[in-house]
Amino acid sequence: MRIALMQPYLFPYIGYFQLIQAVDKFVIYDDVQYIKGGWINRNKILVNNQEFLFTFSIEQGKMQSKINERMLSSKYRYEKEKFVKTIVQNYRKAPFFQDTIKLIDKILSSEQINLSNLIYKSILCLNEYLDIPTEVILSSSINKNGLGSAQDSVIEIVNLLRGNTYINAIGGVQLYSKHTFKMKDIDLLFLKPTEISYPQFGYPFISNLSIIDVLMFNSRDNIKDLLNRYELI
């Protein structure tokens, strides 16, 4: 049983979905501290054929608030409308605009203002669209102790889910020890994406944008191919 954990990100880049597809159970780590300035409530798209950072603002909360305790601000309705308008203005000539804008509208149609719940819904919706069968679980729904280091917490969750392999994004190479996981009868692997590129209105390719950009320029069959462009090390 292969397990992966990641914090929730709104419309994340394709590497996030590569990780989801690579495992049997994917845990959205929603009951850890919300860190301001991270990628949870923002990402990048194309605007005027250049990289543009979009953000959905969050209500002020306590410094130690968990991700699943954070709410979208009272500006959300306005920001949502502005975001969709920006998408339409900049992607309306993309080859898969119609399918993608319908998907975005479906995700944002909810009046859900809890950030974690909105992202959870969006991940489920995108997985369904991309035919990714992986079970998605909120870490807050798992009955756990959550004591010890970050690595200890991950190992506990993998054990509770009866996993024997844990796959992490390549950025975690310096965070986790293969030896420590092996001592707990868990194989630790890291997902390393291979280079991905595709046409973006004929301009030089800009990588690591939101999955929205991938959806706009690629058919579902092509995205399925892109999702498999990685190696496990």
Pull the structure tokens for residue 216: 């706009």
Query: How crowded is residue 4: how many other Cβ atoms within 10 Å of its Cβ?
Result: 26
* Each residue's pLDDT expressed in tens, for the chain with a length of 233 residues: 999 999 999 999 999 999 999 999 999 999 999 988 889 999 999 999 999 999 999 998 777 899 999 999 999 999 999 999 999 999 999 999 999 999 999 999 987 799 999 999 999 999 999 999 999 999 999 999 988 899 999 999 999 999 999 999 999 999 999 999 999 999 999 999 999 999 999 999 999 999 999 999 999 999 999 999 999 99
CA 88 to chain centre: 22
- Give the pLDDT of residue 146: 80
Strands 2-6 and 25-28: parallel
Counting other chains too, the contacts that 169-172 makes at CB distance below 8 Å and 24 or more residues apart are 169/6, 169/15, 169/19, 170/233
Q: Is the pTM of this model over 0.75?
A: yes
Task: Rounding to the nearest 10 degrees, give the CA dihedral for residues 169, 29, 24, 185.
Answer: 80
CB 156 within 8 A of CB 144: yes
**H-assigned helices in 92-219:** 97-108, 115-129, 150-160, 178-183, 211-217
Q: How far apart are CA 207 and CA 209, in angstroms?
A: 6
- Give the pLDDT of residue 148: 87
Q: How far apart are CA 223 and CA 215, in angstroms?
A: 8
Pull the structure tokens for residue 52: 């543009």
CB 169 within 8 A of CB 56: no
Residue 167 burial by Cβ neighbours in a 10 Å radius (0-12, 13-18, 19+): buried
114 lies in which domain range? 2-232
- Give the pLDDT of residue 213: 99
Which helix (H) or strand (E) segment holds residue 21: the answer is helix 14-21
3-state secondary structure of 114: strand
- b/e sequence 85-106, b meaning 16+ C-beta within 10 Å: eebeebbeebebbeebbebbee
CA 17 to chain centre: 7
Q: How many domains does the chain have?
A: 1
Q: How far apart are CA 17 and CA 22, in angstroms?
A: 8
